[in-house]
Amino acid sequence: MTTPTNLLGLDRRGLEHWFAARGEKPFRARQIMPWIYQRNVAAFDQMTDLAKALRTRLEIEATVATPELITEELSADGTRKWVLRLESGNAVETVFIPEADRGTLCISSQVGCAMDCQFCATATQGFSRNLTSAEIIAQVWFAQQALGAVPREGRVISNVVFMGMGEPLANFDNVVTAIRLLLDDLAYGLSKRRVTVSTSGLVPFMDRLRSEVDTALAVSLHAPTDELRDVIVPINRKYPLDELMAACRRYTAERERQMHIVYEYVMLDGVNDGEAEARALARLLAGMPAKVNLIPFNPFPGTRYTRSRPEVTQRFAGILRDKRIITTVRKTRGDDIAAACGQLVGEVKNRQKRRLSDIPVVRQ
């Protein structure tokens, strides 16, 4: 018996092809997408504008499969964290951060991570596998259902960031499919400025992302020199700063994309937070459209790092601002439930001994 297709894993074009392969008209995709994504309906028999025969066929050949909730935690600041079980027995974490003017959903793209950034709890879990496109977008579907959200009717989830578990660009094809659904007016209809992909610096995939979808990028910089970045962001040994910054220039080459990148910089006490590092960062970003987001380090069990003192962070920010670099200091959210930046761990089974050298190189 053929395994039913999880329709959450198909963007509009993929869904049109799926219907066409079964002798159905491609417009069926445009009928079914609003039911799934805008009304959060997973049962085909409830999709009342579809012919009864088609609904019966869909019940046999398709599914809208969503993850199982393991735990839900609510922070004192309103942040919610869900631990979601996948079919493989692994689990990932998804976080919703409510603010006065927005609601941001932080989603995962991999089970674990192979990037080995030592200030990140996910890296300590090892790497198991990439999430499928269905597993990625299912986190959005689940969160919308859990929050009682209806798109465009008092939208609760206004922003989606690929900043959960994993390196999104190391799971490129599945992440791009999910992005297309987030941007599609028949699905979630988010603005391109409200979907952000984080990367530790996979240069060839940054170029591919630029050519395939128009979305914001968060570059996990964390150090202004190769010597320091080689230690705390090991992918730098494969794609050093000169290559990374050249890719950033290419990504923002068009006028309308000039503010599409934010540079993330975690503040590690005595490691990368000195005045010399601030001046070096200003030189690195000189002449580029740049916004820097300074992130207080969020501790986790076993880490050797500590958070920079607030006055040190403000001094660092002041040096950048004096050089006319837009600089913000991120407010820590959800740290009381281990939902803050760098604290997500999930449940990683069947770990692979994947090395940074195993990350594929894509040449343009």
Mean pLDDT, the chain, whole residue set: 88
Q: Which residue from 59, 79, 139, 74 is spatially nearest to 107, judged by alpha carbons?
A: 139
Q: Does some domain include residue 178?
A: yes
Q: Which of 113, 248, 341, 347 is catalytic?
A: 341
| Local structure of 95: helix, strand or coil | strand
Q: Are residues 163 and 294 in the same domain?
A: yes
Q: Does some domain include residue 362?
A: no
Domain boundary among 16, 38, 63: 63
Residue range 285-300, pLDDT digits in tens: 998 888 999 999 988 8
pLDDT, position 149: 62
Which range, of 38-47, 49-58, 84-93, averages the lowest pLDDT?
84-93
pLDDT, position 343: 45
Report how far residue 320's alpha carbon sits from residue 242's, in angstroms, rounded to the nearest whole number.
20
Helix ranges restricted to H, 299-356? 310-322
Concerning whether 135 is annotated as a catalytic residue, the answer is: no
Enter the DSSP assignment of 132. P
Strands of 291-296's sheet in order across: 68-74, 80-85, 91-98, 103-106, 159-162, 195-199, 216-220, 261-267, 291-296, 326-329
Evaluate whether 122 touches 112 at the Cβ level (below 8 Å): yes
Q: Are residues 40 and 164 in the same domain?
A: no
Q: Does some domain include residue 194?
A: yes
Residue range 63-75, pLDDT digits in tens: 999 889 999 998 8
Q: Are residues 22 and 82 in the same domain?
A: no
Report how far residue 309's alpha carbon sits from residue 270's, in angstroms, rounded to the nearest whole number.
10
> Higher confidence at residue 232 or residue 256?
232
Evaluate whether 126 touches 120 at the Cβ level (below 8 Å): no
Q: Are residues 21 and 114 in the same domain?
A: no
Question: Residue 108, Cβ neighbours under 10 Å: how many?
Answer: 27
Report how far residue 55's alpha carbon sits from residue 43's, in angstroms, rounded to the nearest whole number.
9
Q: Are residues 15 and 88 in the same domain?
A: no
Check whether 327 has a pLDDT greater than 60: yes
Check whether 356 has a pLDDT greater than 50: no
Parallel/antiparallel/unpaired status of strands 103-106 and 5-6: unpaired
Q: Are residues 38 and 109 in the same domain?
A: no
> Higher confidence at residue 150 or residue 277?
277
pLDDT, position 101: 86
Q: Does some domain include residue 364?
A: no
Concerning whether 117 is annotated as a catalytic residue, the answer is: no
Beta bridge partners of 216: 196
Q: Which residue from 43, 69, 41 is spatially nearest to 151, judged by alpha carbons?
A: 41
Q: Are residues 23 and 77 in the same domain?
A: no
pLDDT, position 360: 47
| Residue in this structure with the two tokens 């417009």, named with its chain if needed | 27
Confidence bin at 341 (pLDDT 50/70/90): low
Q: Which of 16, 93, 167, 277 is catalytic?
A: 93
Q: Which CATH number goes with the domain that contains 59? A: 1.10.150.530
Q: Does some domain include residue 363?
A: no
Evaluate whether 141 touches 8 at the Cβ level (below 8 Å): yes
For the segment 159-167, the average pLDDT, to the nearest whole number, is 94
Residue range 97-110, pLDDT digits in tens: 998 888 999 999 99
Segments forming the whole domain that contains residue 24 = 5-63
Q: Does some domain include residue 352?
A: yes
Check whether 318 has a pLDDT greater than 90: yes
Domain boundary among 63, 81, 108: 63
Number of domains in the chain: 2
What length does the chain have?
A: 364
Q: Does some domain include residue 345?
A: yes
Q: Are residues 89 and 221 in the same domain?
A: yes
Domain boundary among 63, 87, 107: 63
Q: Are residues 15 and 109 in the same domain?
A: no
Q: Does some domain include residue 92?
A: yes
DSSP assignment of 166-217 equals: S-GGGGHHHHHHHHHHHH-TTTT---GGGEEEEES--HHHHHHHHHH---EE
